[in-house]
Structure 1
Amino acid sequence: MIRTLIVDDDFRVAGVHAGFVAEVPGFVVVGVANTGVEARARVRELAPDLVLLDVYLPDESGLALLPELRTDTIVLSAASDTRSIRDALRAGALNYLIKPFTTRQLSERLTGYARYRAVLAEGRALAQHEVDRAFRVLHEQDRDAAPKGQSTTTARLVSDRLRQSAHPLSAAEIAGELGMARATAQRYLTALADSGAVEMRLRYGATGRPEHEYSWTG
């Protein structure tokens, strides 16, 4: 489980965010802080994996606090000016989400973070393509799930089916399960593979031509 600390000046908003996080598989809220002082104490006490940090704290700016935390951080703030956003990223924030946002928007950022964290698991050396993949998956879900000309709903159905599968699936299998044409499933799977969201390999059967199979990269 990814242990998450919520830092927000409004205890009611912090509670709402905690509820959002609790709905995302693989995440658990270990604490809440409403000031910079409390945030420092909670980080020392709880050693969270991730901090969701507001900019407007009553005793100091979250942007000033951020470099001290030395913990993966996503900023959640009403501050939408370019300077705040640039300062947050410069100080080490992995993402920046402007309030108000939806459960889905936060869930997508958290899912991207979980995939990024999985790629950068400790204890082994990485090849350059793995480093590139880590940065790609961190933000892959920030944007619209479907390329231009494709349905976001259909793209999400295909994505969700792959996420839930314990083994790779072919375009024909996806099409059969979701009730769509094989060519349609192939088009969406190809777009997901191009974005890095899924991995494509060849499946060799006992007879006939090999076919592509797809698995979620997270």
Structure 2
Amino acid sequence: MIRTLIVDDDFRVAGVHAGFVEEIPGFAVVGTAHTAAEARARVRELSPDLILLDVYLPDESGLAVLPELQTDTIVLSAATDAKSIRTALRAGALNYLIKPFTTRQLSERLLSYARYRNLLNDERGLGQEDVDRAFRTLHEQDRTITPKGQSTATSRLVSDQLKAAARPLSAAEIAGELGMARATAQRYLTALAESGAIEMRLRYGATGRPEHEYSWHG
């Protein structure tokens, strides 16, 4: 069992990610942390095999604490600048997954990590072919995956609209702002909610049925 620690400043997002991980065979969540200081303490206390680490922590950047953790780490973050990504990889991150992502994107990277870990878990000496195979395995499933019928560009437009909004928005409001069908906006919003990037709750009006509204979690 691969013992996994979730580090994310947002309690709800950490819970969503923990739920994703618990559904993957061979993985177990041993704890969560919401600050860099808490991450350090949890690593000392729990000795996890793998950390899923956010960059934006309230007390310190996840990139600053990463080299200290001395634990296999996959970064899950909304930080998309090249400098952050290079810094994460230079500090030892095994992979970097940009929010919002789907459960499939996360699960495929975790399963690749499990196979990579298994290939390097042999007590015998390893040859160059073994090392090459392990590294190929670690990244063999790395590719952009969006739900059928959806595009990454449109998903980003919906995400950006929610990030910029001063209040929660409904699917109809998103559709109106972006000039798309309400059903299309709803599909993208549902995928974002499943990724944990946005929060979905019910909006109750004065009359009629309640509708879902969405706000950015990041």
How far off is 1:144 after superposition?
6.8
Query: Which residue of the partner structure matches residue 50 of structure 2?
Result: 50
Query: Which residue of the partner structure matches residue 9 of structure 2?
Result: 9
Q: TM-score, normalised by structure 2?
A: 0.65
Query: Which residue of the partner structure matches residue 85 of structure 2?
Result: 85
Aligned pairs, number: 146
Secondary structure of the residue that 1:140 maps to in structure 2? coil
Query: Which residue of the partner structure matches residue 95 of structure 1?
Result: 95
Q: Could you tell me which amino acid in structure 1 is paired with residue 103 of structure 2?
A: T
- How far apart are the structure 2 equivalents of 1:24 and 1:135? 21
Q: Deviations over 1:157-202 (max 9, x none)?
A: xxxxxxxxxxxxxxxxxxxxxxxxxxxxxxxxxxxxxxxxxxxxxx
How far off is 1:123 after superposition?
2.0
Query: Which residue of the partner structure matches residue 68 of structure 1?
Result: 68
How far off is 1:76 after superposition?
0.2
Query: Which residue of the partner structure matches residue 135 of structure 1?
Result: 135
How far off is 1:23 after superposition?
1.0
The structure 1 segments of at least 4 consecutive aligned residues displaced by more than 6 Å after TM superposition are none
Q: Could you tell me which amino acid in structure 2 is paired with residue 53 of structure 1?
A: L
Q: Could you tell me which amino acid in structure 1 is paired with residue 87 of structure 2?
A: D
How far off is 1:40 after superposition?
0.3
Query: Which residue of the partner structure matches residue 21 of structure 1?
Result: 21
Q: Deviations over 1:33-86 (max 9, x none)?
A: 000010000000000000000000000000000000000000000000000000
Instruction: Give the alignment of 1:196-207 within 5 angstroms.
Output: none
**Unaligned runs of at least 5 residues, structure 2:** 149-218
Query: Which residue of the partner structure matches residue 179 of structure 2?
Result: none
Query: Which residue of the partner structure matches residue 35 of structure 1?
Result: 35
Q: Percent identity?
A: 79
Query: Which residue of the partner structure matches residue 198 of structure 1?
Result: none
Distance 1:127 1:47, change over 3 A: same
Q: TM-score, normalised by structure 1?
A: 0.65
Query: Which residue of the partner structure matches residue 157 of structure 1?
Result: none
- How far apart are the structure 1 equivalents of 2:35 and 2:144? 34
Q: Could you tell me which amino acid in structure 2 is paired with residue 136 of structure 1?
A: R
- How far apart are the structure 2 equivalents of 1:61 and 1:110? 23
How far off is 1:5 after superposition?
0.1
**Unaligned runs of at least 5 residues, structure 1:** 146-151, 153-218
How far off is 1:142 after superposition?
1.1
Query: Which residue of the partner structure matches residue 106 of structure 2?
Result: 106
Q: CA RMSD in A?
A: 1.4
- How far apart are the structure 2 equivalents of 1:103 and 1:121? 27
How far off is 1:143 after superposition?
2.7
